[in-house]
Structure 1
């Protein structure tokens, strides 16, 4: 009997091969229309780049070209910033309740068109349709709904009786959660009365360009949201532009440091949400099956393309063997393959460049003496793929324990005491997130107070809510996004 889970390709538990089969369940691509080319969205209209330059965006699961997109240069950035500045006066003067109406409309349109957006996100990004459909899109709409509620209540946010918007916000977002990071940036900015120039990542521009159409459908005034596409040079032009009052960036620590140097000495406000190397800490009294699900979700969700991914597993020495046996059994059931297949657990790596980095660091782990394990897996012949992988015998000196891999690679370390767990968890230049698995509430509270991480989850991982602030310490950046705290970055307080 042929198992579609293997031929279509996926990872499966050999012991279950004859027990049941999964038929492919692909989502139709026809629900979303992708134009052969896209311009820049400036002042409410799409226009070509001033110098006519373009680049191609490809689907990481098939390497097919999805569309041709305009490459914004310095002149285009200047036009977008001027359009945002022109729109700022009227937009900021609107009563908060009027701004809220636009945000509510945007949220409702996102809900109504969520199927289109989910398919588009999976095509352009490579993530499984189940994640874009069930996680990304509901959270995107939730953020716009949440900040719509704040738009007429800013004086009650704790930032003075008359908080004022900053002006024009220049926002640069990454490729791992293109639409969700857009919502994190744009929703609070508009609620506070700012206007926006946003640059999506060059490998995932399509959902941001789709959002431009959502803005038009919602009747958003021209120039309030401008979207310029391009590579890192476009982002650098935007950050350095003198007409920008606020810079918001999510991405690598290296680029974040460059941005900090660029804005140093200026009056621009900055928030940076950068890399991470989170510790997921499992104690001997933790519910093993529940912890395994949290570990899998913590590192293999979105192919490990998550800044707060639980990429370091710290397991108490006495249960290491039991936990690893259960974890390997679970990993054998993960299905890698077509992102549009509703059965898929792990989709494609976003780009050839990112795949090369993952391979380099995984090879370094082996070269430095860690033991590599991955379930048997037949990967597709086209596209960018990497099987879910774990390393045991890892020390704190290993590159895979210190550097952000940003892929489906888990490093396993052990500890004996809570104090040792804290010391190892904090032994990193990053400080974005952490997870604790134990039945003792007192231990959770003690650990959380000692961990140098912006977000600490207890007996769960990778849970988000628009009302909860998110951000890190050290090389994971500064500032907070989400919640009431996320408004502060867009207000003159």
Structure 2
């Protein structure tokens, strides 16, 4: 039997169950295109039982002191640490991530649980804060209380990470959870169920259901749930929002991006190369915040593009287990087909391909890191989220032009700025419409940060105290003085 096979892949009320869904997930290693596991799926009846288990567990869990919930969160962090070698290898096999990237993901998940443990410890001290009402005839108190059992749907590009960003604040707030991992990368998230059993998490606090769209549909329709938090594509997010709207449920949506990186003429060239390449080639460009549009000042355009092409020529693209690997494969065959379709569009449009623009020979979902120069803003290469290692560039001559180019997008998730003038960089940051902006640094997201975007990039914020607040309702108590 394959050691990765998980027939008992549904976790309900503190126990593993055989998935009773009709489908079986065939988990693929994207570097070899071989099946590495078969995972049973959850039936609609099991989804409803998972939601009911979360509902039963909600009152006792939310009634625990914040310090008690914090201990469980720290236990999750230590559980991830104890499994580090296996989880890193699993990420490399199931997602195609190079070892360094898989290690970064795991460290991010661990840090997230520890951070929300800190917030949970402080939570009770902030309750019943007094408010001033009118002329003093009444007094008010404010409480922040868990909103109830919640459904969490996470994507395939960052297993462990996006789930930690949702599970940790939800449990810290006092919510109970039903988690649906991606059908393409379900294996890493199943470790959360193993850890829950290991640490003695009360039954029903965390439940895990596996499967594709039909399981997500059952989850968004499960009546005991009081909120849905979704990370993924805009197309799927709109369906989640519609399903939640039918019952008036609150939703949090972290959706797509087509982020810009602006490089001014006084920027440090080496730093610019580092920020541009990391921003588009990390995780093979399968990052919602990938800075896939380079907006570079005309005075340094040729020099920067030449340096970028040189960096790309020196990159090693191959198996995550190779001794040197700068970029692994795309994670799914569907994503490979999507990126290849954009390569075809670029050829049809006559885009100036500086480097790349093709699938690599051999097995595996590998594509060449790609740069298109001076792309027309009307082209899909410039305006649509490709979700692959594909960079489109344009030049600018004034800051007003750079801002206009950066903001000419239906998305507003993130942006980067590389500039030798900190004041100028901050002026640009104030005017760019994006939820998270990096200045003179490659992309790094801390648990204390806010994460989320403007425009079509979603609704709400994750991480930081804002992530905790998203799983809480505000209760105001007014009484006679």
8 Å contact from structure 1 (residues 196, 226) kept in 2? yes
Secondary structure of the residue that 2:300 maps to in structure 1? helix
The question of 1:239 aligning with 2:238 is answered no
Using the size of structure 1 for normalisation, the TM-score is 0.90
Aligned to 1:473: 454
8 Å contact from structure 2 (residues 359, 366) kept in 1? no
Aligned to 1:262: 243
Aligned to 2:477: none
8 Å contact from structure 1 (residues 369, 393) kept in 2? no
Aligned to 1:450: 431
Partner of residue 17 from structure 2, selected from 24, 47, 62: 47
Report the CA distance between 1:369 and its aligned residue. Answer: 2.3
Counterparts of 1:176-255 in structure 2, within 5 Å, are 176-255=157-236
> Aligned partners of 1:359 and 1:319: how far apart in 2?
30
Partner of residue 357 from structure 1, selected from 331, 338, 356: 338
Report the CA distance between 1:398 and its aligned residue. Answer: 0.7
User: CA-to-partner distance for each residue in 1:211-250, whole Å, 9 max, x for gaps?
Assistant: 2112211221111111101001211211122211011000
8 Å contact from structure 2 (residues 66, 172) kept in 1? yes
Counterparts of 1:79-98 in structure 2, within 5 Å, are 79-98=49-68
Partner of residue 255 from structure 2, selected from 266, 274, 288: 274
8 Å contact from structure 2 (residues 281, 327) kept in 1? yes
Aligned to 2:28: 58
> Aligned partners of 1:377 and 1:411: how far apart in 2?
15
> Which is worse superposed, 206-215 or 151-160?
151-160
> Which is worse superposed, 274-283 or 380-389?
380-389
Report the CA distance between 1:183 and its aligned residue. Answer: 0.3
Report the CA distance between 1:33 and its aligned residue. Answer: 4.9
Counterparts of 1:129-168 in structure 2, within 5 Å, are 129-133=99-103, 135-154=104-123, 161-168=142-149
Report the CA distance between 1:88 and its aligned residue. Answer: 1.1
User: CA-to-partner distance for each residue in 1:240-268, whole Å, 9 max, x for gaps?
Assistant: 22211011000001111122222225342
Secondary structure of the residue that 1:436 maps to in structure 2? strand
Aligned to 1:114: 84
Partner of residue 302 from structure 2, selected from 321, 335, 357: 321
> Aligned partners of 1:193 and 1:248: how far apart in 2?
15
Q: 1:383 to 1:37 in 2, by over 3 A?
A: farther
Equivalent residues, number: 461
Aligned to 1:104: 74
Gaps in structure 1 of 5+ consecutive residues: 1-31
> Aligned partners of 1:38 and 1:320: how far apart in 2?
55
Aligned to 1:8: none
Using the size of structure 2 for normalisation, the TM-score is 0.93
Secondary structure of the residue that 2:444 maps to in structure 1? coil
Secondary structure of the residue that 1:153 maps to in structure 2? helix
